[in-house]
Amino acid sequence: MDIARSEKVRSRGKWFASRKMLLLSAAVVVVIIGFALRSQSSSAAIKRDALVIGVVKSGRFDVSVDGYGELKSGSARLITSDSKATVEELVLKPGAKVTPDSVILRMSNPQIDQDLDLARHQLEAEKIAVQEIGLTQQRELQEAEAALFKVQSELELAQMREKAMADLAKARIISSIAYAEISLNAKQLRHSLQIEKQRYATLQKINGAQIEIRNRLVQERQLAYDKVMEQKNRLTVRAGKEGTLQLLYVELGQSIDTGKELALIGGDRDLDALVKIPQSRSDAVQIGQPATISVGGTRVPAKVAQINPGVADGSVLIELKPDQPLPVNARPGLNVDASVGVGSFPNALYVERPANVVANASSSVFVVDGSADVARRTKVEFGQESGKLIQIRNGVPKGSGIVLSDVSKYASEDVLAIAD
Res 68: pLDDT: 94
- What sign does the CA torsion over 213, 218, 219, 224 have? positive
- pTM exceeds 0.95, yes or no: no
Res 38: pLDDT: 45
Cβ distance 374 to 328 under 8 Å? no
CA 29 to chain centre: 77
45-71+270-419: CATH topology is Elongation Factor Tu (Ef-tu); domain 3 (2.40.30)
- What sign does the CA torsion over 125, 131, 137, 143 have? negative
Strand 415-419, strand 44-47: pairing: parallel
pLDDT, tens digit (0-9, with 9 covering 90-100), for 96-107: 989 999 999 999
Res 143: pLDDT: 85
76-107+236-266: CATH topology is OB fold (Dihydrolipoamide Acetyltransferase, E2P) (2.40.50)
Res 30: pLDDT: 43
Res 40: pLDDT: 45
Residue 246 φ then ψ, to 5°: -85, -50
Res 300: pLDDT: 93
CA–CA separation, 159 vs 171, rounded Å? 19
Res 12: pLDDT: 53
Single-letter amino acid, residue 51: L
Beta bridge partners of 57: 350
What do you get for the CA distance between the two ends of the chain, in Å? 69
Res 391: pLDDT: 93
Res 13: pLDDT: 52
Residues of the chain with pLDDT under 50: 1-6, 8-9, 15-16, 27-42
Res 340: pLDDT: 93
Give Cβ neighbours of residue 131 (< 8 Å, ≥ 6 apart): none
